[in-house]
C-alpha cells in the first residue's frame, strides 16, 4: 500500500483557534440536544452558582456545566456516585480545547428528583436534630385561640372549621391565608407561621392543606418551612394531604395529623364528651357528699345515745372520782420519790463532811500559811522571825516564828513547828 504524502501546499492550514471554532460549530449543530447517562463525579457548585461536574462510565468521561439559572431549579443535590441522566447541548470550551455538555436538565436514575430531594433533606435535618422528641412541645388541653395556616379557598379550611365548630364552638379561630402550592408557597407558609407565633395570641397552630401529588405538597418539604416550624414557640400540628402522605413538616411539627379534619379532632376536646364527663363527675360528687353526710349523721346519733349525753351528771361524777384517784396516786408516788432522794442526799452529805478539811481542823489540827498565802508543810519552808497565819478549827491566829525544829527538807519531817514563844 502506498503511503500518501500530504504537503502543506495541498491542504489548507488552520490556526488552533480556527480549527477549534470549526469543531465547535460542527458539534453544536449536530448535538444541540442530547441525553447522556452516567455516574456523577467531581460534582461541585461554584461560588458563582454554576454547577460543574463530570459524567462517566467504565470507559469514558464527559465534562459538563449547568449554569446558575438552571442549577437553581434542581430539586435534589447532585452528589458524586449518583447515576443521572443529563440533557443538554454538546459544546466546546475554546480556551482549553475540550468539549463538554451544557446541561439544561438533570434527573436521577432509578428514583425521581423530588423523591431524592426529599430523602436528602430528611437525612440532613434529622442529623441536625430537628425531628428529635426532646424539642417537641405538649399540646394545650383546652386551647382558647387556634391559628390556622392554609389556603383560604381550599377544602382543608372548610373541614377544619366544620370540625372545630362542632366540637368546640367556644374556641376562637384565626386564619392566616397562605399559598400552599407553586412558586413562593414555601416562603409564604413560613412567614405565616412566624407572624402568628410573633403575634402571641394563639395557643396552638394548625398548618396544612388537602391532598395532592408530591409536587403539589412540595412546599411542606422545603427547608424554610421546616425551620419555621422548629423555631415556633407555639405548638404546631401538621396536617398535610391524606393519611398516606408524609412530609418533612410532619416530622418537625409537635404532632402530625393524617388529615386536616383529624388535626381539628385532636386540637380540642369534644364538647359533648366534656359535658358527659362533667355530668359523671357531678354524680360522683353528689354520691360522695351523700355518703359523707350519712357517716357524720350516724356518728352524731351514736354520740347522742352514749352515757355522756344520756346521764351527763353521772358521767361527770364518775370522771371526778377517777381524777381524785389518779391525783392521790400521783401524790403518793411523788412523796416516795422525794423520800428516797432525801435519804440519798443525807448519806452523800455525811460522806462529804467526813472528807472536809474543816472537820480535820475541828479535831485539833491547824493549817499554816506563809505571808504569800502558801500552805506551809515543813519547818524549813519558813524562816525564823517570819510571820505566819494559822487556821484553827474555830478562828485564826497570827504568829511570829521564834524557833523551828531541825528537820531537813530531805528528811521529809512534817511535824510542823513548835508554838513556844509565839505571841
pLDDT digits (tens, 9 = 90+) for 367-379: 888 888 888 888 8
Residue 65 located in a structural domain: yes
If one compares 6 and 225, the residue with the highest pLDDT of the two is: 225
Domain count along the chain = 3
Measured between alpha carbons, how far is 378 from 381 in angstroms, rounded to an integer? 6
CATH value at residue 204 = 3.40.50.261
Residues 198 and 264 in one domain: yes
Nearest by Cα to 234 from 145, 103, 102, 341 = 145
194-205 pLDDT, tens per residue? 999 999 999 999
Task: Based on the fold, state whether residues 36 and 147 are members of the same structural domain.
Answer: no
* Interhelix angle 113-128/223-231, nearest 10 degrees: 30
- Looking at the fold, whether 61 and 184 belong to one and the same domain comes out as no
**Strand, coil or helix: 156:** helix
Compute the distance between CA of residue 378 and CA of residue 22 in angstroms, rounded to an integer. Answer: 145
What pLDDT score was predicted for residue 308? 65
> Considering 235, 269, 303, which residue would you say is the last residue of a domain?
269
pLDDT for position 420: 38
Asked whether the beta carbons of 418 and 405 are under 8 A apart, the reply is yes
pLDDT of 248: 93
Q: Rounded to an integer, what distance in angstroms lies between the CA atom of residue 102 and that of residue 65? A: 5
Determine the structural domain holding residue 365 and report its residue range: 355-423
pLDDT at 422: 40
Query: Looking at the predicted structure, is the pLDDT value of residue 336 above 50?
Result: yes
Beta bridge partners of 363: none
Tell me: do 20 and 106 sit in the same domain: yes
Q: With 50 as the cut, is the pLDDT of residue 144 above it?
A: yes
Distance, CA of 232 to CA of 192 (rounded, Å): 11
Indicate if 203 and 95 belong to the same structural domain.
no
Q: Between these two residues, 203 and 385, which has the higher pLDDT value?
A: 203
Q: Which sign does the torsion angle of CA 245, 250, 256, 257 carry? A: negative
CATH of the domain at 23: 2.40.50.140
Residues 168 and 229 in one domain: yes
Question: In the chain, what percentage of residues exceed pLDDT 70?
Answer: 90
pTM over 0.85: no
In this structure, are 193 and 246 located in the same domain?
Answer: yes
- pLDDT reading at 328 higher than 80: yes
Tens of pLDDT, residue by residue over 61-74, are 899 999 998 898 88
Residue 406: burial class (beta carbons within 10 Å; 0-12, 13-18, 19+): exposed
Structural domain contains residue 131: no
Decide if 293 is inside a domain.
no
Question: Could you tell me if 249 and 210 are in contact, meaning their C-beta atoms sit under 8 angstroms apart?
Answer: no
pLDDT band at 262 (very low <50, low <70, confident <90, very high): very high
Q: Which of 189, 173, 192, 190 is nearest to 181 (CA)?
A: 189
Q: In what order do the strands lie in the sheet with 204-209?
A: 172-177, 145-150, 204-209, 236-240, 255-256
In the block, residue with C-alpha cell 452558582: 49
Predicted pLDDT of residue 139: 94
185 is a domain residue: yes
Residue labelled with grid coordinates 471554532: 21
Mark out the alpha helices in 16-95 (DSSP H runs).
Answer: 16-30, 68-71
**Quick one: DSSP state of residue 375?**
B
Q: Is 216 in the same domain as 164?
A: yes
Let me know if residue 58 belongs to a domain: yes
Q: What is the mean pLDDT of the chain?
A: 84
DSSP secondary structure letter of residue 154:
S
Strand ordering across the sheet containing 396-400: 367-369, 387-391, 396-400
Q: What is the mean pLDDT of the segment spanning 150-179?
A: 92
Report the Cα–Cα distance between both ends of the chain, in Å, rounded: 174
The model's pLDDT over 268-304, given as tens digits with 9 standing for 90+, comes to: 988 777 777 788 888 888 889 888 888 888 888 887 7
Q: Is residue 1 part of a domain?
A: no
Q: Are residues 265 and 165 in the same domain?
A: yes
In contact, 163 and 206? CB cutoff 8 Å = no
| Same domain (yes/no): 106, 147 | no
Is residue 287 included in any domain, yes or no?
no
Question: What pLDDT, on the 0 to 100 scale, is given for residue 66?
Answer: 93
Same domain for 173 and 72: no
Locate 297 and state its grid cell: 349523721
157 and 258 share a domain? yes
Please indicate, yes or no, if residue 274 is contained in any of the structural domains: no
Closest CA to 124 of 84, 77, 73: 77
Amino acid at each position: 500500500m502506498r503511503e500518501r504524502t500530504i504537503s502543506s501546499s495541498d491542504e489548507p492550514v488552520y490556526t488552533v483557534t480556527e480549527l477549534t471554532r470549526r469543531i465547535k460549530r460542527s458539534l453544536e449543530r449536530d448535538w444541540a440536544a442530547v441525553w447522556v447517562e452516567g455516574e456523577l463525579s467531581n460534582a461541585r457548585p461554584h461560588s458563582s452558582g454554576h454547577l460543574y461536574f463530570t459524567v462517566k462510565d467504565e470507559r469514558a468521561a464527559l465534562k459538563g456545566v449547568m449554569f446558575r439559572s438552571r442549577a437553581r431549579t434542581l430539586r435534589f443535590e447532585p452528589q458524586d456516585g449518583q447515576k443521572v441522566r443529563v440533557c443538554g447541548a454538546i459544546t466546546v470550551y475554546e480556551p482549553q480545547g475540550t468539549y463538554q455538555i451544557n446541561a439544561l436538565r438533570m434527573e436521577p436514575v432509578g428514583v425521581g428528583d423530588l423523591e431524592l430531594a426529599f430523602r436528602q433533606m430528611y437525612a440532613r435535618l434529622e442529623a441536625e436534630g430537628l425531628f428529635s422528641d426532646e424539642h417537641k412541645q405538649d399540646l394545650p388541653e383546652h386551647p382558647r385561640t387556634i391559628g390556622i395556616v392554609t389556603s383560604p379557598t381550599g377544602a382543608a379550611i372548610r373541614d377544619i372549621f366544620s370540625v372545630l365548630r362542632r366540637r368546640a364552638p367556644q374556641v376562637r379561630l384565626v386564619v392566616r391565608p397562605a399559598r400552599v402550592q407553586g412558586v413562593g408557597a414555601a416562603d409564604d407558609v413560613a412567614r405565616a407561621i412566624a407572624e402568628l407565633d410573633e403575634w402571641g395570641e394563639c395557643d396552638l397552630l394548625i398548618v396544612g392543606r388537602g391532598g395532592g401529588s408530591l409536587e403539589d405538597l412540595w412546599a411542606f418539604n422545603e427547608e424554610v418551612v421546616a425551620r419555621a416550624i422548629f423555631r415556633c414557640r407555639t405548638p404546631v400540628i401538621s396536617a398535610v394531604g391524606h393519611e398516606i402522605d408524609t412530609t418533612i413538616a410532619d416530622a418537625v411539627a409537635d404532632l402530625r395529623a393524617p388529615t386536616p379534619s383529624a388535626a381539628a379532632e385532636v386540637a380540642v376536646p369534644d364538647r359533648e364528651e366534656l359535658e358527659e364527663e362533667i355530668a359523671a363527675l357531678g354524680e360522683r360528687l353528689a354520691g360522695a357528699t351523700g355518703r359523707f353526710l350519712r357517716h357524720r349523721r350516724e356518728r352524731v346519733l351514736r354520740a347522742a345515745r352514749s352515757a355522756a349525753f344520756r346521764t351527763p351528771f353521772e358521767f361527770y361524777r364518775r370522771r371526778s372520782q377517777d381524777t381524785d384517784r389518779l391525783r392521790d396516786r400521783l401524790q403518793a408516788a411523788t412523796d416516795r420519790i422525794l423520800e428516797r432522794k432525801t435519804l440519798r442526799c443525807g448519806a452523800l452529805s455525811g460522806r462529804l463532811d467526813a472528807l472536809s478539811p474543816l472537820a480535820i481542823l475541828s479535831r485539833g489540827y491547824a493549817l499554816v500559811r506563809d505571808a504569800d498565802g502558801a500552805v506551809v508543810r515543813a519547818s524549813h519552808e519558813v524562816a525564823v522571825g517570819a510571820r505566819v497565819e494559822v487556821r484553827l478549827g474555830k478562828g485564826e491566829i497570827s504568829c511570829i516564828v521564834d524557833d523551828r525544829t531541825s528537820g531537813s527538807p530531805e528528811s521529809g519531817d512534817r511535824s510542823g513547828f513548835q508554838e513556844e514563844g509565839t505571841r
